[in-house]
Amino acid sequence: EAGVTQSPTHLIKTRGQQVTLRCSPISGHTSVYWYQQALGLGLQFLLWYDEGEERNRGNFPPRFSGRQFPNYSSELNVNALELEDSALYLCASGQPERMEQYFGPGTRLTVT
Amino acid sequence: QQQVKQSPQSLIVQKGGISIINCAYENTAFDYFPWYQQFPGKGPALLIAIRPDVSEKKEGRFTISFNKSAKQFSLHIMDSQPGDSATYFCAAGGYGYSTLTFGKGTMLLVSP
């Protein structure tokens, strides 16, 4: 069974630019969760999508947004990039009633 | 009420020793407590999880101990090996909560 996949692996962007990260969940999972892992800050919850709807978001500004497609894959968009957005962005998938979340390898975003 | 406090921040254990990482939570509605293992440059991998109807769960060399009254749970790694060197995260969640709340992580180094 294929795991969670994310693309791209690495990205380098300039302040003020916009970026889109992609995630494909494990087959059969309807939920996608996005987390930011900045150096020394652990995993910070960003967004949760289930069945195509945004179910909840963490304490992040509106320039962090996303969507989930009918095939349950998801995109995370970050507008007006700031230096502090440099982090590993992790996507996890699961079935909300089972609580388990399985993570992808992440996308390393560097903002210069 | 959503915090999960993890200790220690880092840990050095000799090969063959026991590694112990502790977590404490505040929200009594949490009923799912997983541990994740993360190697550098990789996404976190679900290691083992427990629900509060049992006080201990063992999978191979990994054991979770759970103390509901103290609102604490811990990960024990028996016969620690250099390949166990990684960052370990505890988390907590529950039905009706959108996602998991993670501890800050523990960097474990197992010396040969």
Q: How many CA atoms lie within 13 A of B38 on its CB side?
A: 26
Per-residue pLDDT of chain A (112 residues; tens, 9 = 90+): 689 999 999 999 999 999 999 999 999 999 999 999 998 778 999 999 999 999 999 999 999 999 999 999 999 999 999 999 999 999 999 988 888 999 999 999 999 9
Which residue does chain A place closest to B3, by CA atoms?
Answer: A44
Q: Which residues of B touch A43 (CB under 8 A)?
A: 44, 89, 102
Quick one: pLDDT at residue A103? Answer: 97
CB proximity under 8 Å: A 15-34 to B: 33
Quick one: pLDDT at residue A99? Answer: 84
Quick one: pLDDT at residue B2? Answer: 66
Which residue does chain A place closest to B9, by CA atoms?
Answer: A40
**SS3 category, A6:** strand
- Can you tell me the distance from the alpha carbon of B97 to that of B7, in angstroms, rounded to the nearest whole number? 24
pLDDT bucket at B1, cuts 50 / 70 / 90: low
Q: Do A101 and B99 touch (CB under 8 A)?
A: yes
Peptide bond into A8 cis (omega under 30): yes
Partner-chain residue, chosen from A55, A90, A106, that has the shortest CB–CB distance to B98: A55
- Can you tell me the distance from the alpha carbon of A5 to that of A61, in angstroms, rounded to the nearest whole number? 25
Q: pLDDT by residue (tens digit) across B10-63? A: 999 999 999 999 999 998 889 899 999 999 989 999 999 999 889 999 999 999
Quick one: pLDDT at residue A9? Answer: 97
Taken as a whole, chain A contains a residue count of 112
